[in-house]
Structure 1
Amino acid sequence: MSIRHVLLGLLAGGSNHGYELKRRYDELFPQARPLAYGQVYTTLQRLVRDELAAVEGTDSDGGPERTLYRSTDEGARELARWAGETAPPAPFVTNEIFAKVVTSILVAAAAGGDRTTDAATYLQAQRAAHMARMHELTQLKTTHGAGLSTVLSADYALNHLDADVRWMATTATRLATLTAEVQPT
């Protein structure tokens, strides 16, 4: 996810300060990687440097002074360009789960253990972790008052987790063949 473009999108609704932008990000992207305040302010400074955003002034509302940022015309054009781009499918899929299955086979082979059993045990434990997370997300979706952003974000995560679980089931049925292919020579 492009944080700079998300912040430009949040600024499209009007001027705001970093604290409020972070709050809106957390509200609208509840399942995304958390955004640190430092990242918000660093990104805002870069947007100003690149003339995609500008400092509009400061306010304090009786508290500490806060800098207000607004999107520029160039920022609006950049946001429209980015939002209109089709996101390319990843050219390479890096899958930590697959890497750990192969590694568990290699480690078991080096130790003289049962390579297939170690990989199967890992897949079972990983499946259990995925199922627990899927349960949490399902509960989150059905919580009274869950907003549409939360529901859609949870649905996205659930679909990806479900695909992982199905992949794990397929891999488990193919472990003997994989073990033979991965076996050190």
Structure 2
Amino acid sequence: MSVRQGLLALLADAPMHAYQLRHEFEQRTGGTWPLNMGQVSTTLDRLVRDELVAPLDVDADDVVRYHLTHTGRAELERWWTTAVVRSAPARDELSIKLALAVSAPGVDVCVIVQTQRTETMRALRDLTRLKADLPASGWTREDLAWSLVLDHLIFAAEAEVRWLDHVEARVARATDKGIVLAPRAASGELPPAEQAAREHVADGGAR
């Protein structure tokens, strides 16, 4: 989640100072994406620079509160009504790790998969317990927000387990067919069709 848009969304509720913004952000997302004060302060400075947020007043402790400007509300409304772009894949460490492992000599990909599956299943159990700890009734806005974040994390963990099963099966089939999982030639050249496909993904599928 963009910290910039997140702070705008919080300031749409009421003026807040930096410490309140950090607290509200972490509370509403269940502490899943913790912020440090440096992130909050830097983002606020940029929002003020871009005239999306403005200082409102200083309280008795000399702490500045900020409020959303008209321009900031328009920016926030654009965010609410614009889909999150998924064309450019995120740099996922596990995907990169396995992609490199299958072409690295002496690396047992199945061991990596099994180790990761154990960890992902552990995380999935922890997330499921957190979901079970939510109140059965009388939910607040924060409870609902945290529940939705938990659902996303649970679905993502379940999908990761399925993907790891798929990786293990693909590697087993490749081994059975005698495919050598080794690095490419030193030139690093790809077949034209594969090169075109990878460039298409890197460009966000625009071509």
What's the TM-score once normalised by structure 2's chain length? 0.77
**1:170 alignment partner, one of 159, 166, 169:** 166
Please state how far the C-alpha of 1:104 moved relative to its aligned partner. Answer: 3.0
Alignment of 1:68-107 (within 5 A): 68-92=65-89, 94-107=91-104
Q: Could you tell me whether the CA contact under 8 Å between 1:102 and 1:182 is conserved in 2?
A: no
Please state how far the C-alpha of 1:132 moved relative to its aligned partner. Answer: 0.6
CA-based RMSD of the aligned residues comes to 2.0
Please name the residue that 1:159 is paired with.
155
**1:142 alignment partner, one of 129, 132, 137:** 132
Please name the residue that 1:127 is paired with.
117
Q: Which runs of 5+ in 2 are unaligned?
A: 186-207
- Cα separation, 1, equivalents of 2:85 and 2:134: 36
Q: Which runs of 5+ in 1 are unaligned?
A: none
Per-residue CA shift, 1:18-77, capped at 9, x if unaligned? Answer: 1111111001112542111111111111111111111011113xxx32101000111111
- Cα separation, 1, equivalents of 2:82 and 2:180: 40
Q: Which has the higher helix share?
A: 1
Q: Could you tell me whether the CA contact under 8 Å between 1:31 and 1:157 is conserved in 2?
A: no
Identify if the C-alpha distance between structure 1 residues 127 and 31 changes in structure 2 by more than 3 Å, giving closer, same or farther.
farther
- Cα separation, 2, equivalents of 1:20 and 1:162: 34
Please state how far the C-alpha of 1:99 moved relative to its aligned partner. Answer: 2.6
Per-residue CA shift, 1:65-116, capped at 9, x if unaligned? Answer: 2101000111111111121111122333544323322433433x2x4xxx5x
Please name the residue that 2:19 is paired with.
19
1:121 match: secondary structure:
helix
**Percent identity of paired positions between Structure 1 and Structure 2:** 33
